Chain A
Amino acid sequence: MTLAPTRRTLLGGAALLVASPALLRAQTRTLNLYSSRHYDTDEALYSDFTKQTGITINRVEAGEDPLLARMQSEGANSPADVLITVDAGRIERASSLGLLQPFASEALASRIPANLRDPDGHWFGFSTRARVIFVAKDKVPEGAIRSYEDLADPKWKGKVLTRSSTNVYSQSMTGAMLAALGPEKTEEWARGIVANLARPPRGGDTDQLRAAAAGEGDIAVSNTYYFGRLTVSNRPEDRAVVEKLRIVFPNQGDRGTHVNISAAGIARHAKNLDSARAFLEYLATPSAQRYFAFGNHEYPVVAGVEPPPHVAAWGTFKVDPLNARVFARNNAEALKIMDRAGWK
C-alpha cells in the first residue's frame, strides 16, 4: 500500500477497517473501550492488562457526551464493551439512558467504597479527585477559609477564581452543594461567588491556579490533580505557582470535601462480556489502582493502596460521603441555578 492518498487506497483501507473487528474476534480475545480518559499514563495500564490476560484492548477516546451519542446511534450493534468517564455525572447519564448493564461483582463490591459506585452496579468509581480550594499563602491567613460556603463570604470580594459553569466539575460541585443546602441556599451561595469573582470565569483549573499565584485573585477552586501536575512539572514557572499556594480541604468540620470519580461501566450491548468483566475487576487490583491513580495524580479508591507521595503530602482529609449518583443527578439543576446566579 503506497502512501499516496488516492481514493482506491483509502477505500481499500476502509474495507480493511470494516473487516478487521470480525477478523480479530475470530483470533484473539479483545476488549472494545470507549473512554473519555486520555492520559498517556493509561497506556501502561492497558498493556499491563493485556500482558496479564492476553486480552487486547481497542480504544476510542473522545468527550463523554459525544461518546454517549455514538453509543446511542450504534444501538444494539455497538462494538463498545466498556465505557470510562472522568466524572460521575456523565456515567450516571449513560446509565439513565440505558447504555450500561449492571454487574454484580463480589470483588468490586468489597473493594470499592459504597459511595463511589452505583447502588445497582451500573458503574464503579476507580479513582477520586477532590475539588478543593487553593489560597495565596501571603494573602490569606491559615484558617481564614474553611468551607465551600466561605467562598461566598462578601469579605472575599474580587478575590475568587473559578472556571466556567459549562465545565462538569463546577456542575458536580454545585450538585453536591444542592444536596447539602437545598436549592434556595445554593442559589444564594452561587450569587455570593459571582459577586466575589476576581474576573469572569475562563480557562481551565490550571489557569485559576496560575492566576491566584500571579495575584489576579487570592482564592482558586481546582481539582487536586492539576496542582499535582504543577508540583512535578519541569517548568520553573509551574513550580513557582506551587510555592505560592496552600491547599485547603473544605468542610472538614462538617460533611467533608466534595470528591468526583473517574468511573467505568459495562456497555448494555457488550459483545465481549467476559473481557469486560475481567477488565473492571482488574481495575480494582492494587497494581491497576496504582497505574490508574498515579498517572493522573489522583487518589486510589481501594483500601491499602497509597496515593503517590507528592499527593499524600497534602495530608489526609474527610471525604463527603454523598453517593456520586446523587450529585450526578443534580447536574442539570445545578447548571440552571448557576445560570440564574450569573455564573458564566
Chain B
Amino acid sequence: MTDTALSAPITARMRPATSAGRRALLAGAMAVAALVSVPILAVATSVLQRGEGALTHLLQTVLGEIVLNTLGLMVMVGAGTALIGVGTAWLVTLCRFPGSRQLEWMLLLPLAMPAYIIGYAYTDALAFAGPVQGSLRALFGWSRADYWFPDIHNLPGVSLMLTLVLYPYVYILARAAFLDQSTCVLEAARTLGANPWAACLRVGLPMARPAIAAGVALALMEALADFGTVQYFGVTTFTTTIYRTWFGLGDRVAASQLATGLLAFVLVLVVMEFLARRGRRFGGGGRRHRTLAPLQLSRPKAAAAFLACALPVLLGFVLPVIALIRLHGDGGDPFFSERFLTFARNSFLLAGGAALIVVTAATLVAYAGRLAPGAATTAALRVASIGYAVPGTVIAVGILAALGAADHGLDAWTRATFGQGTGLLLSGTAIALLYAYLVRFLAVATGPVESGLHKIPGSLDAAARTLGASAGKVAVAIHAPLLRRSLLTAALLVFVDVLKELPATIIVRPFNFDTLAIRVYNLAADERLAQASTGALVIVAIGIVPVILLTRMIARDTRRGGRPD
C-alpha cells in the first residue's frame, strides 16, 4: 500500500470563507501561542547571558554521562511505551479474547499513578526489608548472601517505572486512531491477500502514525522533564543536572542554558517526525462505514493476548496500589479527615478548570493550523507545545517571571496614571495557576486534537462548503461530532496531568492553598512514605473517575456506530 493510496480522498487545502474570520482565528491562535511562549522564551534567552562558570565546570565533569543517560532514557521509554501502547491498543481494539472489554479501560489506569509514587511503591516493596524479599527469605530459609535479587535503581529500572505510567499516552491515542480507521482500507488489504497481522503492520500502523507519534512524543517529553523519579533512583539526567546547577551551584543562568539544551533534544524529535511525515497525508482512509469485525482469537492466542494486556495493568497499577494500601495500613496520613476533602476539592476544581481552558486553547491553535496553514502558524504551534518537556520547576520560574513582569508593568502604569498602584494582581492567584497549567499542558491537549483533526478528510469540509456551509458551520456541524472523542481524550489527559502536577502548583499557588499532590509531595519529600500513601491513593481514585467516564462515553459512541459485538 502506498502513501498515495492512503491520501487519495483528501486533497484540497481549505480556504476559509472570509478573510476576517481567518484573521480572527489566526490572531486568537497567535495570542495563545504568545501567552504560552513567554515563560519558555524567558528560559531560552538565557543562552545569550553569561553564567557564573558552572557550565564549564559541568562540561569538564559530568556532561558526558548525563547526555548518555538522557539518550538511554529516551530510547528505552520511547521503545517501551510504543511497544506496550500500540500493541495493547491493537489487541483490545481489533481482537476479541476473554477480558478484552474490561482491559480496554483498565489499560488506562496507570495514567492516574504519578511516576514518583510508583517509584516509591516499588522501592518499598522490593527493598531488602520489604515484603517481597522478606517472604522469599522466609519461604526458602535464605539469608542475605544466599540469593541474587535484581536492583531496580538504575537506568533500565527507572525507564521501566516511567514506561509503566507513560504508555497510556500512546495507548489512548493509538486506540482512538484504530477505532476511527475505515474498515474499507483494512478489508481491501485483506482481499489483496494480506493476513490480519500484515494488514495491521502495513496498513493499520502506518495510518495511525500521527497519533502514535503524538503519544510517544508526550511520553518522551514527560520522561525528559521528570525529576522526582530519576533523582530518587540515583540516575543523573539533564533534568537532575539542571536542578543541581541552579540550586547547588546557584547558577540560574547556566541552569537555564542546560534547560535550553534539553529543548534542543525535543526540537530534534519534533523535526525528525515532521520530516518523516513530510509529503504524506494521513486521512482516515475515508468515512468509517462500519467497524471491522473483531478477530476472534484461538485459545492459545487469546491467552497470550490476555497476558500481554493484563501485564501492564498489573505492573503499572494493581501491584503499586497494593503496595500503597499496605503502606497506608502501616500508618496513613494523620490528616485523613475533612482536611482531605479540601485538598481533594482544590485538586478537582483546578484539574477541571484547567482541562476546560487548555482544551479550548488547543482547539483554537489546532484549528488555526488547519484553516490558516502557514509557516507562522506551524511555528507558533510547535513553540507552544514545547513547555511540556521543560522540567516543571524551571518552567514554573519562567511563569513567575512572566506574571511578575505583567504585575509590575500594570502596577507602575496605574501608579503613574492614577497615583495608586495595583500591587500584585495576578501573582499568587488561581488565575496564575491556570495560566501555569496552560503553559505546561497545552502540548498534552494539542496532540489528540491535532491528530483528531488530521483524520477528518478535507473532502468533508470541501463538500460541506460547496453546499454553502460557512467555516464556522463546518466546525460545529461536522467537525465537533467527529472530534468529540479527541476532545474528551485531550480533556482527560489534561485533567489527570493537573491532578498529578506539582512543581508549578506548589510555587505559583495562593496562600493557604493545598492540593492532594502537594500533600503527598510534602510527606514523601520528608521521607514519610507510609503517610504519603493515603494521598497517593486518593489521587489515583480521583484520576480513575474521568477514565471511567471517558471509557463509557466512547463505548456508547461505538455502540451507536453499530459496532458488532
Contacts and interface: CB of A to CB of B under 8 A. Distances in A.
Interface stretch (A13-21, A277-285, A317-325): A13-21
Interface stretch (B19-27, B88-96, B466-474, B524-532): B524-532
Interface stretch (A101-109, A134-142, A206-214): A206-214
Contact of A14 (B153, B431, B527): B431
Given A62-B507, A66-B503, A74 B427 contact: yes
Interface string B129-161: 100000000000000100000000100000000
Given A5-B349, A77-B407, A206 B427 contact: no
B99 interface: no
A77 B424 contact: yes
Nearest to A4: B352
B487 to A, nearest CB: 16
A5 B353 contact: yes
B62 A73 contact: no
Nearest to A163: B234
Contacts of A66: 393, 396-397, 503, 506-507
* From A5, A13, A241, residue with most partner B Cβ within 10 Å: A5
A51 interface: no
A336 to B, nearest CB: 6
B35 interface: no
Given A17-B430, A77-B423, A206-B527, A69 B507 contact: yes
Nearest to B400: A73
Contacts of A211: 128
Contact of B247 (A58, A168, A215): A168
Contacts of A199: 153
A200 interface: yes
B363 interface: no
A340 B526 CA distance: 29
A53 interface: no
Interface string A62-73: 110111011011
A74 B506 CA distance: 16
Contact of B348 (A5, A7, A59): A5
A331 B236 contact: no
B57 A166 contact: no
Interface stretch (A117-125, A149-157, A231-239, A253-261): A231-239
A26 interface: no
The bracket for how many chain A residues form the interface is: 35 or more
Interface in B265-304: none
A204 interface: yes
Contact of A210 (B61, B127, B403, B411): B127
A1 to B, nearest CB: 10
B373 interface: no
A332 interface: yes
Contacts of B527: 204-207, 226, 229
Nearest to B402: A73
Interface in B484-512: 503, 506-512
Interface in A79-100: 79, 93
A106 B496 CA distance: 52
A5 B498 CA distance: 14
A307 interface: no
Contact of B507 (A67, A206, A241): A67
Contacts of A205: 527
Interface stretch (A32-40, A183-191, A308-316): A32-40
Contacts of B234: 164, 200-203, 344
B196 interface: no
B51 interface: no
A331 B526 contact: no
A112 B326 CA distance: 44
Contacts of A344: 234, 236
Nearest to A41: B334
Contact of B248 (A60, A74, A171, A213): A171
A75 interface: yes
B274 to A, nearest CB: 34
Contact of B429 (A5, A18, A216): A18
Interface in B238-252: 240, 243-244, 246-252
A235 B512 contact: no
A174 B154 CA distance: 26
A335 interface: yes
Contact of B231 (A17, A166, A171): A166
Contacts of A339: 57-58, 61-62
Given A5-B352, A165-B248, A79 B330 contact: no
B511 A63 contact: no
9 contacts: A61-B518, A166-B240, A166-B243, A200-B153, A203-B123, A206-B527, A213-B129, A335-B244, A339-B62
Interface of B: 57-58, 61-62, 123, 127-129, 144, 153, 231-234, 236, 240, 243-244, 246-252, 330-331, 334-335, 345, 348-349, 351-353, 356-357, 393, 396-397, 400-401, 403-405, 407-408, 411, 421, 423-425, 427-431, 434, 503, 506-512, 518, 522, 525-528, 530
**5 closest cross-chain pairs (CB), A and B:** A202-B234, A5-B352, A73-B404, A58-B511, A214-B128
